[in-house]
Amino acid sequence: MILLVALATGLLFGGAIYLLLRRSAVRLLVGLVLLGNGAGLLLFTMGRLRRARPLDEPGAPLVGADPLAQALAISGVFLGLALLVLVLALICHAAAAAESDDMDQADQAPVSDAGG
Amino acid sequence: MLALMLLACLFAALVSFVAGRSLRRASGWLAALVPLLLFGLLWQQIPPVLMGATPVETYRWVEDLGGGLAFDLVLQLDALALSLALLVTGMGGLLAACAGFYLARNRSPGLFLLALLGSIGALLGLVLAGNLPTLLLFWHLALPSAYLLVGHRSEERHAQQSAMQVLIVGVGSGLALLAGLLLLGQAAQSVGVGPPAAYSFAGLQAAGASVANAPLAGPAVILVCLGCAGWLALVPLHGWRAGALAHAPAPAGAALVACISPGGLAVLARLHPILSGSPIWGYLLLLLGSAGLLGGAVLALRQRTIPMLLACSASSYAGLAVLLAGVGGDYAPLALLMTLLTLALSHGALLLLLGTVAQQTGTDDLQQLGQLFAALPITTWLATLAALSLAGLPLFLGFVARGLLFEAIFASPLPEPVRAALIPICLIGGALQMVVAWRLVYRTFFGTRPARTLRPLREAPAALLIVPGLLVSWALALGLPELGMPNALRVLCREAALVIAGNPAGLAGAVGPEVALLQGLGWPLIGSLVIMLPGLVLIYFEERMVGLLASMPGGQAAGGGAAPLVDGLQRGAASLTGLLERGHLRSYIAGAVMVWLGLVGPLFVAFAFGANGADLPPLALLLEDIRVHEALVILVVVGGAILTPGARSRREALIGVVGVGVGLALFFALLSAPDLALVQALVSAITVVLLLLAFAWLPRRCDWAAPRGGMLRDALVAGGAGLLVAGLTVAAAGDQSFASLAALPPEPGLVANPAAAPGSTRVAAILADHRALDLLGVLATLLAVLPATRGLLQRGLEHLERGPASGRGSLLLHMALPVLAPLLLVLSASFLPGGQAGPGMGLGGGLLAAATILLYVLVAGPAAVQRMLPVGYLTMTALGLLFAAVWGSLGLLASQPALAAVLPNQTVPGLGAIGTPLLFNLGAYVVVVGVATNVALLLAAAPATARPVPEPPESSAPSTPLPPPASDAHQPGPAANGARAAALTAGQAPPQDEQ
């Protein structure tokens, strides 16, 4: 089982980094989302996989997934969301100023134009 | 008191920096007050120190580095420290007093005085240091001030280069010394000295010769000697000081020679009793010292300018001092101290005097100067006296030093052949030093040709004569021990010499050698007179010798030795910076990932395939227990992770992202992590909506079809990173060293109903209580993002406030929403009290509510949602965070840790369990709702310019997360790109026009 999870984690990270290395702003955004997901999965897996009860079933035994790993993953997911929002705003601002999806052109766009 | 002295120096440095702006030249006198005051205080300490009192002050610095290794700041005032401290503060005060006159009129002397007093403070700390960490600390503190001193004329390129050289040599020596002293500490520990004692001088000395003979002591000795040789500018490494003296103001040069050299020698003197047992210590010092003595003197004769000549001469004297440290025996330490004093006093005086000469005549070239005697009689006299002391003539300090030198060689415990070899070396060196001193004074003030000067010469202001005059008179007074030298100083020098020799109990025990001039017409006296003979002979041949030396290959380059090195270093640094700083996000990311791969990758490979390969879990464990439904869910994630990077349109990319998000949420749910699953699902949904909204801002012109350049390289980097993460995941699966919290019984108080609490509710307890500070941090991060987003999307904000309140959503959703939304909101609120007894919590509830509002945004339009709430969303978010923080800090009032659950949840009929955790969660709920809604609103109000011109693509309203605008689906070919660009240009209507 862990092999499958490792495969998914590796693919998420690899795909995310490949997307982050592209010139396109959209790909950067998508890559960031994948990276956040990969980090969540990695953190969760660090608490080891355990399947006691899929969801809240009354009377089931008490053992569930490691709550600490879950709590860390939840914090991580939220921080990823905050990061994504900030990058979204930055990229929307830059791309609207450069009128291009190409990050290299956004680099050189005049900043003063962007405020509208 | 010692620490206060150092603080006083720092304080004076800062004050004179400020005062320099208004007081100009007079600020030098102000700055001189503190060092001179310290000099007086230290002077008063002479009697108690001679009585055997050694004040030691210890301050805790680094508490505990583990293994009992703690570093203290130790300052001690024994005879050696006192004598050197007197030298440093006295010289420093005098230099500060006259510094203002040497600096350019149009510039505030504040920065110069700051650097000068800073270096005095650092060197004072260096000589007072009582253990190795303190020594290293002050050694490195001296660096920046030396850099500022040398680079004072910052507009000159040569001054910049010299300052850079100082920094590079200083950092290099400092690193060598650091490594050497650390090795020394290790060597001491290897012979059984405990960690605190192994890093203190007293402890090392108490350990005796065993430390010096430990295997690690050899490398330590070499590194320490190299570091000190660099700092003392001994001949192969002399370039930095020659450059510094040539391009820095005269007081800076004098400070470098007279204050900073004692620092280097202080290190040698401190370590001498510890390391003198080492077989290589003495010979290495003899080697370095001889090279410095002869090389410096020869190079001095090749120089054409005064500062370069003085720099090489100072190197020669420093070499003599180092040589004396290697000679050993009873007299050598005393001779070392006297040589050091000669070096500092005479060179300091000469640098100051000839600095004024250079200022007056406009040149410091020896060939253009001459016959200044008539115009500058006082300067001439003072310079001549200082040079006589350098040359070692009777009645002067230099003469005492010479006499002690030969006495030391004869009394040395070195083998006979070595001693025999040292005598000619010292004779030739002394003779050459005489020629140097003679040449300097004769060519400048007498000579055959008159100097061509631009204006009539006048004596320098009195202040500029008083300071060198004082230095010269000290050289005289110390040279006449019986007549001029105060008895206390004489005994102090003897005691300091005993400290260097490693026998500090001198007063009580053995009687050390005296500083003596005329202890009878013994043959040391005759010897010191005899050594003047070769000097006199050489002076006769001075012209020819200088001509011969100048014609030798190598040219004038005294400071040139280090210049190519420095240039090369700077060029290398510039090209490295250019290589790393591409200015593109992707190059930074690629660099970071590659560094990570390079650091972690080999370690992982070594772990997985090395001798410890058995640590990896066996394949059977990796493959065991695969269930079909879970595997399917994972495959959805895998499919999404493959689809997204290869996506050829925004639609495909979004589908991939949704697949990953939903797949992960399901996976978490299946593996009994309902809280995480809930959060994952909601965050995925919100992320997709935000991405959709953001895509409206981004122009369609993009390179989806043909990303330019380096695909293979990027794929390799990304693939390597993915492989490594996968490998680490597998490796971690085999690790059993941490027990899961899940199996522990729940704690009463945190959880409302412990009997009913399933393992998963611990997540809520952890988030809201154990790790509540983390949660507060997460909330603060979310809040911090909001103002930035608002600032960046300003244009959207304006549009939002004036825009039409009409949605673009589907009719079906429009009709369903009034029913659906209240249900969803109630559900989200119900997560709140449930947070302690079932899955869900403030964060999850907030996400659900935010998702509901986002649905509104999509259906009814952003403007309508904006007007729904009387308070701004930013205010609401901030209030939410404040609310959470207030309930969290209640614990402090109840004298419990912050964020503790002061009021555990009590079950209230009809409402659920209420207590501080619930209230804290309520704050989190509000923050999440506020941030998500506000960002969505801002993004939804995309400016008209960024939108595609024809409206139809937008009409396929993104009411569900998946379908992006239709026009995205087909591939933008070159022709389509052009047409689209034209359409974009045509449709660039500002938002105002649209209204």
Residues whose CB falls within 8 Å of the CB of residue B55, separated by 6 or more in sequence, listed in order = B1, B2, B45, B76, B77
Average pLDDT, chain A: 78
> By three-state DSSP, how is residue B59 classified?
strand
Give the pLDDT confidence score for residue B992 in this predicted structure. 35
Beta bridge partners of B75: B57, B129
For the record, the structure tokens of B534 come out as 């070769």
In order, the DSSP letters of B277-306 are TSHHHHHHHHHHHHHHHHHHHHHHHH--BH
Apex CA B327: angle with CA B321 and CA B328, to 5°?
Answer: 110
Apex CA B557: angle with CA B553 and CA B559, to 5°?
Answer: 155
Q: Cα-Cα-Cα-Cα dihedral of B456, B457, B462, B465, to 10°? A: 170
d(Cα B973, Cα B432) in Å, to the nearest integer? 83
- For residue B718, the distance in angstroms to the closest alpha carbon of chain A comes to 5
Q: Do A89 and B788 touch (CB under 8 A)?
A: yes
Q: Do B676 and A104 touch (CB under 8 A)?
A: no
For the record, the structure tokens of B567 come out as 């240039």
Apex CA B398: angle with CA B354 and CA B466, to 5°?
Answer: 40
Q: Which of residues 891-930 of B touch A (CB under 8 A)?
A: 928
Of B630, B741, B946, the CB nearest to A1: B630
How many CB pairs (< 8 A) connect A and B? 351
Is B281:B212 a contact under the CB 8 Å cutoff? Answer: yes
Is A115:B795 a contact under the CB 8 Å cutoff? Answer: yes
Q: How long, in residues, is chain A?
A: 116
d(Cα B391, Cα B385) in Å, to the nearest integer? 10
User: Residue B290: which of B174, B152, B187, B430 has the closest Cα?
Assistant: B430
CA B571 to each of CA B151, B581, B582, B794: distance values in angstroms, whole numbers, following the listed order: 19, 15, 17, 43
Chain B residues close to A46, C-beta within 8 Å:
732
Q: Which of residues 224-283 of B touch A (CB under 8 A)?
A: none
Q: Do A81 and B631 touch (CB under 8 A)?
A: no
Residue of A nearest to B936 (CA): A85
Residue of A nearest to B794 (CA): A115
Amino acid identity at A97: A
Give the pLDDT confidence score for residue B987 in this predicted structure. 38
Tell which of A3, A28, A79 to mutate to test the B interface (max B CBs under 10 Å). A3
B938 touches chain A (CB under 8 A): yes
d(Cα B285, Cα B12) in Å, to the nearest integer? 37
Q: Cα-Cα-Cα-Cα dihedral of B663, B668, B669, B675, to 10°? A: -120
> By three-state DSSP, how is residue B785 classified?
helix
Q: Which of residues 713-742 of B touch A (CB under 8 A)?
A: 714-715, 717-719, 721-727, 729-730, 732-733, 740-742
- For residue B695, the distance in angstroms to the closest alpha carbon of chain A comes to 8
Residue of A nearest to B619 (CA): A3
Q: Cα-Cα-Cα-Cα dihedral of B113, B117, B122, B128, to 10°? A: 160
Please measure the distance between the N-terminal and C-terminal CA atoms of chain A and give it in whole angstroms: 53
Alpha helices in B129-216 (DSSP H): 132-150, 157-190, 195-198, 201-207, 209-212
Q: Do B714 and A10 touch (CB under 8 A)?
A: no
Chain B residues close to A90, C-beta within 8 Å:
792
Of A4, A17, A78, the CB nearest to B626: A4
Give the pLDDT confidence score for residue B669 in this predicted structure. 84
- For residue B901, the distance in angstroms to the closest alpha carbon of chain A comes to 18
Q: Do B660 and A14 touch (CB under 8 A)?
A: no
Residue of B nearest to A78 (CA): B778
> By three-state DSSP, how is residue B942 classified?
coil
B30 touches chain A (CB under 8 A): no
Residues whose CB falls within 8 Å of the CB of residue B835, separated by 6 or more in sequence, listed in order = B764, B768, B841, B842, B845, B917, B918, B921
Tell which of B585, B654, B921 to mutate to test the A interface (max A CBs under 10 Å). B585
Of B742, B792, B794, the CB nearest to A67: B742
Give the pLDDT confidence score for residue B101 in this predicted structure. 79
Q: Convert the pLDDT of each residue in B525-562 to its tens digit.
A: 676 677 788 888 888 888 888 888 877 765 444 444 55
For the record, the structure tokens of B859 come out as 């259906």
d(Cα A109, Cα B747) in Å, to the nearest integer? 57
Q: How long, in residues, is chain B?
A: 995
CA quadruple B879, B884, B887, B888: dihedral sign: negative
Of B626, B660, B742, the CB nearest to A65: B742
Chain B residues close to A27, C-beta within 8 Å:
653, 707
Query: ipTM score of the complex?
Result: 0.89
Chain B residues close to A50, C-beta within 8 Å:
671-672, 740, 742
Alpha helices in B480-510 (DSSP H): 487-501
B118-153 residues labelled b (16+ CB within 10 A) or e (exposed): bbbbbbbbbbbbbbbbbbbbbbbbbbebbbbbbbbb
Is B798:A116 a contact under the CB 8 Å cutoff? Answer: yes
Q: How far is CA B800 from the centre of its chain?
A: 47
Give the pLDDT confidence score for residue B367 in this predicted structure. 81
Is B187:B276 a contact under the CB 8 Å cutoff? Answer: no
What phi and psi values does residue B56 have, to the nearest 5 degrees?
-125, 130
Q: Which residues of chain A have pLDDT under 70?
A: 51-64, 104-116
CA B698 to each of CA A67, A90, B136, B735, B950: distance values in angstroms, whole numbers, following the listed order: 40, 11, 55, 45, 15
Work out the number of other CB atoms within 10 angstroms of the CB of residue B746. Answer: 18
Of A54, A88, A116, the CB nearest to B794: A116
Amino acid identity at B291: A
Determine how β-strand B912-914 pairs with β-strand B71-76: unpaired
Q: Judging by beta carbons within 10 Å of its beta carbon (0-12, 13-18, 19+), is residue B107 exposed, middle or buried?
A: middle
Of A21, A46, A85, the CB nearest to B586: A21
d(Cα B495, Cα B46) in Å, to the nearest integer? 11
d(Cα B941, Cα B81) in Å, to the nearest integer? 72
Q: Which residues of chain B have pLDDT under 50?
A: 506-512, 517-521, 555-560, 704-706, 748-760, 835-840, 944-995
Is B889:B898 a contact under the CB 8 Å cutoff? Answer: yes
B644 touches chain A (CB under 8 A): yes
d(Cα A56, Cα B674) in Å, to the nearest integer? 8
Q: Do B669 and A55 touch (CB under 8 A)?
A: yes
B982 touches chain A (CB under 8 A): no
For the record, the structure tokens of B14 come out as 């800062």
Q: Do A10 and B584 touch (CB under 8 A)?
A: no
Determine how β-strand B906-908 pairs with β-strand B912-914: antiparallel
Model pTM?
A: 0.63
Alpha helices in chain A (DSSP H): 2-20, 25-46, 67-98, 103-108
Q: Residue B594 half-sphere exposure, CB side, CA atoms within 13 Å?
A: 13
Of B725, B730, B942, the CB nearest to A3: B730
Residue of B nearest to A29 (CA): B691
d(Cα B452, Cα B134) in Å, to the nearest integer? 51
Residues whose CB falls within 8 Å of the CB of residue B412, separated by 6 or more in sequence, listed in order = B327, B328, B329, B332, B419, B422
Q: Do B676 and A49 touch (CB under 8 A)?
A: no
Is B127:B260 a contact under the CB 8 Å cutoff? Answer: no
B782 touches chain A (CB under 8 A): yes
